[in-house]
Amino acid sequence: MNTTSLNTVAVVGCGLVGSGWALVFARAGATVRIYDGDAALRARAPERIRQMLQDMQGAGLVQEVDAALARITVCDTLADAVGPADYIQESVLERVDVKQAVCAEIGAAMRPDAICGSSSSGIPASAFTEALARRSRFLVAHPVNPPHLVPLVELVPAPWTDPEILPVLRDAMQRWGQAPIVVKAEIEGFILNRLQGALLNEAWALYEAGLASAADIDLTVSQGLGLRWAFMGPFETIDLNAPGGIADYSARLAPLYHNIAVSRADPQPWSPAAIRAAEAERREILPADQLQQRTDWRNRRLMALVAHLRSQPK
């Protein structure tokens, strides 16, 4: 099997992540078959995907809305969606028992040579594929929400995943417009959430210590670190932040970062009091009934950023 053979894709789960995945595959030219156990979600999926495509068209990120939609078929059964598929993207509820049950159904319905990636954001594939007859064809393919705007995908094999799948799926994800990485072994939180968690844990610790407001901590990222991180990772960032590159930066600042790490040698859970305080601060800035509006704003800003980055030389 090679990347060009992954032309028919099934998406199991039509929620926000599943709908985003369907858009990713359809805009790239794949034939897409989608299914959800909730009939209401199945019924709403085409219009939700149409709206997302239209928003992207308005940002200059998609050319043909109707052509992409024409490549998507809503199926009434899981077997109908999965049976013809070269690749399956499972995007159901983040619970081991739910994933076990759905993946058992997928395993029974999929072709022996098909591949199934799970949108799991933290549960390793070994936790829900061990008993499957075709477990070697399963792995985690964890996207960032929303996957049609943020291209990163973490490919995380289980111990029994056929290693030949990884280069095939990585190439296919690149062809579909995503930015895949390979996590070489299962680890809790994978790569993205471990990096995000390190920043979040420090943000909560600084907030609980009364050193800055939540708004100012957010500003430190949005108007500081995040501007570079929109197009560079941490290693490239420090490589360019000292005259002699990464070795020079490390000689200058590694002791500082070690001292910071040691100062957090006894990390604590986010406290209920700090969570209540941050919730109160955020609700003063953004009332709860405006969360969806702000989410839509976030997506428009992401579209504008993606459009800008695509226009720039690599």
What's the mean per-residue pLDDT of the chain?
A: 95
Percent of the chain beyond pLDDT 90? 95
The pLDDT of 4-9, averaged and rounded, is: 86
Instruction: Quote the Cα angle for 109-160-144, to 5°.
Output: 75
Answer yes or no: is pLDDT of 313 > 90. Answer: no
Cα 186-188-189 angle, rounded to 5 deg:
110
Q: What is the pLDDT of residues 132-151, one digit of tens each?
A: 989 999 999 999 999 999 99
Cα 250 from Cα 155, distance rounded (Å): 30
Q: How far apart are CA 145 and CA 24, in angstroms?
A: 12
Dist. CA 82–CA 115, nearest whole Å: 10
Q: How many CB atoms lie within 10 A of CB 251?
A: 11
Residue 1 has pLDDT above 60, yes or no: no
| pTM beyond 0.85, yes or no | yes
Q: Which domains does the chain have, with CATH numbers?
A: 3-182 (3.40.50.720), 192-311 (1.10.1040.10)
Q: Report the C-alpha gap between 49 and 35 in whole angstroms.
A: 14
Q: Which of 120, 62, 70, 56 is nearest to 93 (CA)?
A: 120
What's the rounded Cα separation, in Å, for the pair 52 and 26?
12
Model pLDDT, residue 314: 76
Cβ-contact 92, 102 below 8 angstroms? yes
Residue 15: both structure tokens together = 């929620």
Residue-wise pLDDT for 209-222, tens only, equals 999 999 999 999 99
| DSSP codes, 218-236 | HHHIIIIIHHHHTT--HHH
- Measured CA to CA, the distance from residue 99 to residue 91 in angstroms comes to 9
Q: Is 189 exposed, middle or buried (0-12, 13-18, 19+ CB in 10 A)?
A: middle
Q: Is the pLDDT at 3 greater than 60, yes or no?
A: no
Confidence of residue 260 (pLDDT cuts 50, 70, 90): very high
| Model confidence band, residue 182 (pLDDT cutoffs 50, 70, 90) | very high
Q: Do 18 and 57 form a contact (C-beta atoms < 8 A)? A: no
